[in-house]
Structure 1
Amino acid sequence: MGIGLWSGLWFGLAIPIILLMYLFKRKYIDTTVSSHLLWNHVLRNIEANRPWQKLQNRLLLWLQLLVAALLVFALMAPYIWVQGGSKHTVVIVDASASMSMILNEQTDGPQGVQNGMESDQQATAGFGLEQRSSQNSGQTGTVSAMDQLKEELSEFTASLNRKSELTLLKLGSKPQVILSRETNRGKWKQAISELTPDFGVSAYRETLSLAAAMTKEDAEARLVIFTDGRWLERSDDIPLDVPVNVVMIGDAAPGNASIEQFGVKSNPAAETVEGVSVVRNYGGHALEAELNLYGDERLLASQQAVVGAEESLTVSFADLPAAEVYRLSLSPGDSYALDNEAFAFSGQHRAPQVLLFSRGNLFLEKALQLAGASVTRMNPDDGGETGASEVPKLPERTPDIMVVDGQAPDYLQQSPWSELISRTPLWTIGGKEDKVQPPNGELKIENHPVTRYFTIKDSPTATLSKSPLPAWGKSIMEIGGLPAIYAGNEAGVARLGFLFALEDSDLPLRPEFPILVNNAVEWLQSGRAAGLGRAMVEAKVSIPVAAEAQQGVWTAIGGYAATNGVTDIPAEMKDGLVLAEQTAPAVPGLWRFQLRDVNGTELASYYLQTTASPLESAVQAAWPLQLTAGDKSEPSAAGADDGTAGSPGSVTDADTRTERGQGDFSDRYPLAYLLALLAFLVIFAEWGVYQRGRSI
């Protein structure tokens, strides 16, 4: 139950006035006289008034006080909350990027329905990207604002009566009508469970305008807005003709730290990489944070940074080793994790670094160089600095491709070389296995990027290694029905194998040999993706697409998208071909776009970092949510004229004040008319008492 107009208490002054009237009224005493000659004496005694008399227990007095009390209560516009008062409920769900923010803790229930939101907000504790929001909001621990919204929205819909119609609007990059006048509660639950944040530029005004149009001249409708209060567009000029309730989700953080820019640049002279970043502090207090820079997930550098309130700071990194993907992380992160890290990529046209294990093969080494590779050769018989028994150190520059010509040294099976091989494309030639002679020289060459433009007609070797194909390998060239060259991917890493030694073959002397080596280098480094830079979610991105590419897929490999297990997204196609202009994935993070031919062989891949709308990072730029209620809107109540009309978060009209809601999801039923009727009945009873001559 609530009070609509506390100013009605002024009429309560009528109660002491009634009491004063009874205190000062004349008191008449019944007197028996024997003659009319004594009237003058009796009248003189009666005229002697006695003020401040003791109140008598009179029925008329209590009836008059009851009437006054009922009138006072009616003028205060009391109301009670009734369940499901509106037949048609339109709900706007704020699904902007800020709804992915991690809240302090799991709350026990709804924070409340309110006609106006409080402007005071509390800071939330920060959590890094490694912390994921609970998918089950019933569990204790941290949850996202969207998790809490779905919980409170479920409770709200459960409170509606059976005849209620629900229209659900999602406020994302565009207004989305998820449900329209739906009465099936099963569909309500399914739609609520499938709600997810939208990370683009949110259409605040468009969604509110759509809700206004859907409820216009609908006497049975009401509007409920579920939001965290970070409203990035003005809304007070959109009139609404229905009662409006606003449900606050969590407490919006007063500040935020963001990595606005991050990039790397190669220094060819020093063969190193330089990095630069811009960090911005949107909060009202100075920020002390640590910037950690990773290269291919290895920590390369760390710097302490102090950023003033509402200021930005440029931080540089020098003498970085070469890497394919660089990641800059802000530590400690805050509750809005989408801008706490950024990615950068090495140059697209950098020559591939090839580490060649060979006792000496001039033809192979020159062919690799003709393919544009930078070759570093190691003799398999050489150990460390102290002798062959020592395991050599890893090269300073991480190779892009490893080539083993002949028998592989034993130390490649030991750490840290085994870890390097597990993540590096590998090409093996020959080996120590027993050899076998093919029954004939018949060649069979499969269609594969390695054998493209390879047109030899006769067998290049008389012996093959007697080695079974690995489970992941596919034969791409056979001699006499026996596999001679195989290729495949082992745990996502390219592998190429020649089952014959080059010294036992005339292949290096043939003009097709440089073509074969060039194809091998290109295919092996196809897993080394080129960087496409940064793009906002759902932006159009131009990608170099080979003519033979007939398959494409986006795979999340880092950032928010990978942390939350976003599934692969197929590429956009037209007439069976991959389009050169693709739409960036709708979830922020590090993505890899892979192109494949008709057989599923990878042709090329590209890295892209997708980011959420930068407007969501600038929390200080948010507009207060102010709604202009129409003539049919229910005025909200206020305790006193405290100057809060039109304050941030209020639903305003000429006589509106702000207040926090009752904590349930019901409509207000006014009691003023019922109290006025009761007061009339009491007055009627009082007149009957007066007519019967009861004492006054």
Structure 2
Amino acid sequence: MGIASWSGLWFALAIPLIILMYLFKRKYVDTLVPSHMLWNRVLRNIEANRPWQKLQNRLLLWLQLLAAALLVLALMTPFIWVKGGLSGHTVIVVDASASMSGQRKGEPGKDTPSSSTALDRLKIKVHEYIDSMGADGEVTLLKLGTEPEVLLTRETDQKAIRDQVDKLEAKFGKAAYRETMSLAAAMTQDDPDASVLVFTDEQWSERADDILFAAPVEIVSLKGEGTSNAAVEQFGIKNDGDHSTGVAVIRNYGARPFETGLNLFGDGQLLASKSVKVESGKAVTVTFDELPASDVYKIKLERDDDYAADNEAYAFREKGGAPHVLLISEGNLFLEKALQLSGARVTRMEPGTSAPSNEPDSEGDKGPALPKDKPDMIIIDGITPAYLKTGEWSRLIQETPSWTLGGDGGKIQPDSGRTTVANHPVTRYISLNDPPAAAVLAGDMPSWGKPLMEIGSTPAAYAGTENGVNRLVFLFALSDGDLPLRPEFPVMVNNAVQWLQAGRTTGLGRMVAGAELEMPFNVEAAQASWVAADGYAVDAGAAPIPAAAKDHSLAAVQTVPPLPGLWRFEMKGADGRVLPGYNLEVIAHPSESAIGQVKPLGFGGGGVGASAGGAAGNGTGNSTGAGQSSGGVGPNPERSAKYSLTYLAALLALIVIIVEWGVYQRGRSI
């Protein structure tokens, strides 16, 4: 038992005062006197009072002394030590780094799931510590994530603490280990009643033993026994002409050999599979040759391990250099030269026969073979061949930005020769005073189309995005006018190539979760959001994340989504049209993968060494150093907490006063 405030002893002076009052209490002696002496009452009263009389054994006296003693005890705030609790100011550091999302096997005989994440087990342990929190306990809750975050400061409400703990989620960016612990050290530097509790799996990639604490530190370990993890450490695609080569590096962080299948996908289709075996602590390189062209490649480990965030990786087809243009035309020298001036690599293909055959396997029905190298855009000059509307060619057209000039069908004469040009990236720096053609094709504009040029009130060209793919349509053939001879023509072709090139599925590369990324926005983008497309983020049910805005427009620098996986940055124009987006691979910080290679964690102190059972001392904060508790669930039995007896002493004093009042009412009979 201990006393927290000795100043309450001043109230103990009331005890001798009570005794003194009884010493000076008037005492009357029963005496028989003649009635004629009643007039001398005052004199007899004075003579009958005998001060400094001997104290007598009276119940009322003892009750009053007991009540005074209990009140003195209550004012001194007594307490007793309780094993395993929290008292004083406790800074609880909760590790929410990416490795805490890894699976850990349950402990035999413990009331925990047979398989749960380290973060789930952290919540259970913190709850049990909070349950043993003393009446004078205060908790500061400090979250260790991508940056230090103070969730609560000197909180005494246990429910508020539990609510914050239940909301914890793992952060997959670079964990701020040193920054968080340095903040915890600063918060307890000048607090003699402070202590630090660190709940962690001890998977720290940064040095911590040089961080000095003035308060005792206890490490509650959540590391798992026999954990295993294999990671796709690197993955890339190299274009080799008509085909691509994929290279992946697989590393085993576990204590035992790891054997599993390795699957490689291209645009969602399985392209190749291999079996791989990796020794403990080693890495192997796996190569995939002769891969067909795809926009997005994915590699994934078949076997699930204890840490799922690094079991898959993505790569994007190289899009650098000059765009590849497939020109389907009977020959147009001006158009080819203008395309070459824009920097495009042009492959011209004759339209061939456009009449479908009755033979299902005939060349007329199937058309020519697809190009070996998938084009970045397709330009159709003249009548569209029939084979482009069926089979593999139709699928290629649907997935590839296209520019159509002319076509078949009836033509109409515009009602006037006045030409207007809309404000659009294709018509930038273009001013047409004369109509580009004398007649244009008749037909309705699709819902995704936006007029680019109008002759009178008749549309002559339109553009738009169909299912996320850019489309450009000229309702006249170049041979129907003198547009190729005008100086604006090369500028228009260059604008068209640049705009169509922006419609390609472009990969932004690989970024760590929570990092900042400068975005190449489409000029028409008015709103955008991150949408989970594949992988860990989809499995976790990630919701779309609106893009950050600045000054009523999209911010140039965006924050990378917080969960690993394949994300797509989707954009829309001011009119709600879907614009071409970008793919991004989001990864957890690589240092978090080594969950099977945990080293003992310790912090610096003022001369007291680490102890196996927990922080030494009586919990009052007068010792320094670091301790470590066992991996079992529950409070450290070596930790002691103050349990206040003030309320109990005050309650007993009140009961005694009530009993005393009853004795007083009964008068001298007691």
TM-score by length of 1: 0.65
Candidates 320, 323, 347, aligned match of 1:375 = 347
Partner of 2:139: 166
Tell me the distance in 2 between the aligned counterparts of 1:148 and 1:499: 66
Q: Choose which of 436, 450, 458 in structure 2 pairs with 1:474.
A: 450
Once the two structures are superposed, residues 111-160 of structure 1 have per-residue CA deviations (whole angstroms, 9 ceiling, x without a partner) of 5xxxxxxxxxxxxxxxxxxxxxxxxxxxx997644455456656765775
* Partner of residue 347, structure 1: 318
Q: Does 1:99 align with 2:71?
A: no
Tell me how far apart the structure 1 counterparts of residues 313 and 96 of structure 2 sit (CA, whole Å).
Answer: 23
Q: Equivalent residues in 2 for 1:414-425 (5 A)?
A: 414-425=390-401
**SS in structure 1 opposite 2:180?**
helix
Q: Give deviations 1:571-602, integer Å, cap 9, x for gaps.
A: 686997965x7765554444566899999999
**Aligned with 2:465 (options 489, 512, 521):** 489
Candidates 216, 230, 251, aligned match of 2:203: 230
2:232 maps to a residue whose letter is: I
Q: Flag the 1:85–1:168 CA change in 2: closer, same or farther, 3 A.
A: closer
Three-state SS of the structure 2 residue aligned to 1:469 is coil
Look up the match of 2:283. Answer: 312
Contact (CA 8 Å) 2:87, 2:641: kept in 1 or not? no
Q: Tell whether the 8 Å contact from 2:140 to 2:154 is kept in structure 1 after alignment.
A: yes
Shift of 1:231: 3.5
Post-superposition CA distance 1:617-654 (Å, at most 9, x none): 2335532134578799998869xxxxxx9xxxxxx989
Q: Within 5 Å, which residues of 2 pair with 1:47-446?
A: 85-86=86-87, 88-103=89-104, 111=112, 144-147=117-120, 149-150=122-123, 153=126, 165-182=138-155, 188=161, 191-192=164-165, 194-216=167-189, 218=191, 221-235=194-208, 238=211, 246-249=219-222, 251=224, 254-267=227-240, 270-358=241-329, 361=332, 363-371=334-342, 372-377=344-349, 378-379=351-352, 381=354, 386-390=362-366, 394-432=370-408, 434-446=410-422
Q: Aligned partner of 1:228: which letter? A: D
Query: Which whole-Å CA distance do the structure 1 matches of 2:288 and 2:277 have between them?
Result: 16
Post-superposition offset of 1:475: 2.0
Q: Are residues 1:448 and 2:420 paired?
A: no
Distance 1:381 1:177 in 2: 70
d(CA) in 2 for partners of 1:141 and 1:110? 9
Q: Which moved more, 1:210-219 or 1:302-311?
A: 210-219
Contact 2:327 2:348 in 1 (8 A): yes
Amino acid at match of 1:282: Y
Q: CA deviation at 1:505?
A: 3.8
> Counterparts of 1:427 and 1:143 in 2: how far apart (Å)?
54
Q: Distance in 1 between matches of 2:107 and 2:631?
A: 21
The Cα of 1:523 is off from its aligned counterpart by 0.9
Matched residue SS, 1:619: coil
Structure-2 change in CA distance of 1:486 and 1:152 (3 Å): farther
- Cα 1:530/1:619, change in 2 over 3 Å: same
After TM superposition, the structure 1 = structure 2 runs for residues 12-27 of structure 1, keeping only pairs within 5 Å, are none
1:103–1:145 Cα contact (<8 Å) kept: yes
Structure 1, unaligned runs of 5 or more: 1-77, 112-139, 639-644, 646-651, 672-696
In 2, Cα distance between equivalents of 1:559 and 1:462: 53
- Closer, same or farther: CA 282–662 of 1 in aligned 2, 3 Å: closer
- CA 1:255–1:445 in 2, change beyond 3 Å: closer, same or farther? same
For 2:573 and 2:382, locate their aligned partners in 1 and report how far apart those are by CA, in whole Å.
31
> CA distance change for structure 1 residues 400 and 333 in 2, over 3 Å: closer, same or farther?
farther
| C-alpha distance in 1 between matches for 2:90 and 2:481 | 80
CA separation of 1:429 and 1:166: change in aligned 2, threshold 3 A: farther
Say if 2:229 and 2:596, in contact at 8 Å, map to a contact too.
Answer: no
Q: For residues 362 and 161 of structure 1, do their structure 2 counterparts lie closer, same or farther at Cα, with a shift above 3 Å needed? A: farther
Query: Which residue of the other structure, out of 496, 508, 514, is the alignment partner of 2:490?
Result: 514
Q: CA deviation at 1:176?
A: 2.0
Matches within 5 A, 1:573-612: 587-590=563-566, 608-612=584-588
Change (3 A) 1:272 1:163: same
What is the one-letter code of the residue matched to 1:459? P
Residue 169 of structure 1: how far off its partner (Å)? 0.9
Tell me how many residue pairs correspond in the alignment.
552
SS in 2 for 1:335: coil
Distance across 2 between alignment mates of 1:107 and 1:479: 81
* 1:461 to 2:451 alignment: no
Higher mean C-alpha deviation, range 90-99 or range 581-590 = 581-590
Kindly tell me: are residues 159 and 355 of structure 1, through their superposed partners in 2, closer, same or farther at Cα, counting changes over 3 Å? farther
Distance change in 2, residues 1:457/1:601 (3 Å): farther
Shift of 1:381: 0.8
Q: Distance in 2 between matches of 1:513 and 1:223?
A: 72
- List runs of 5+ in structure 2 lacking aligned partners: 1-79, 617-622, 644-670
CA contact (8 A) 2:420 2:432 kept: no
Structure 1 residues 612 and 451: CA distance shift in structure 2, 3 A: same
SS of residue in 2 equivalent to 1:527 = coil
1:618 alignment partner AA: A
Q: Distance in 2 between matches of 1:185 and 1:406?
A: 76
Q: 1:411 to 1:167 in 2, by over 3 A?
A: farther
Describe the SS at the equivalent of 1:230: coil
One-letter amino acid of the structure 1 residue matched with residue 266 of structure 2: G
Contact residue 608 and residue 625 of structure 2 kept, 8 A: no
Note the C-alpha offset of 1:239: 5.7
From the superposition, tell whether residues 318 and 103 of structure 1 become closer, same or farther in structure 2 (CA, over 3 Å). Answer: same
Distance, in Å, in 1 between the alignment partners of 2:625 and 2:94 is 27
Separation (CA, whole Å) in 2 of partners of 1:657 and 1:316: 45
> Which secondary structure state, in structure 1, belongs to the residue aligned with residue 502 of structure 2?
helix
Aligned equivalents of 1:335, 1:190: Cα separation in 2: 27
Given that residues 351 and 373 in structure 1 are in contact (C-alpha distance below 8 angstroms), is that contact kept between their aligned partners in structure 2?
yes
Query: Structure 1's 660 and 623: CA in aligned 2 closer, same or farther, altered over 3 A?
Result: closer
1:190–1:463 distance in 2 versus 1, CA, 3 Å: farther
Q: Deviations over 1:466-488 (max 9, x none)?
A: 33333332222222133322222
| C-alpha deviation, 1:370, in angstroms | 4.2
**Structure 2 partner of 1:72:** none
Deviations 1:416-452 (A, max 9, x none): 4444333322333344554433222222212211112
Name the CA distance, whole Å, in 2 between partners of 1:412 and 1:381. 9
Using the TM superposition, give the Cα deviation of residue 526 of structure 1 relative to its aligned residue in structure 2, in angstroms: 0.5
With over 3 angstroms needed to count, the CA separation of the structure-2 counterparts of 1:602 and 1:571, relative to structure 1, is farther
More displaced stretch, 623-632 vs 427-436: 623-632
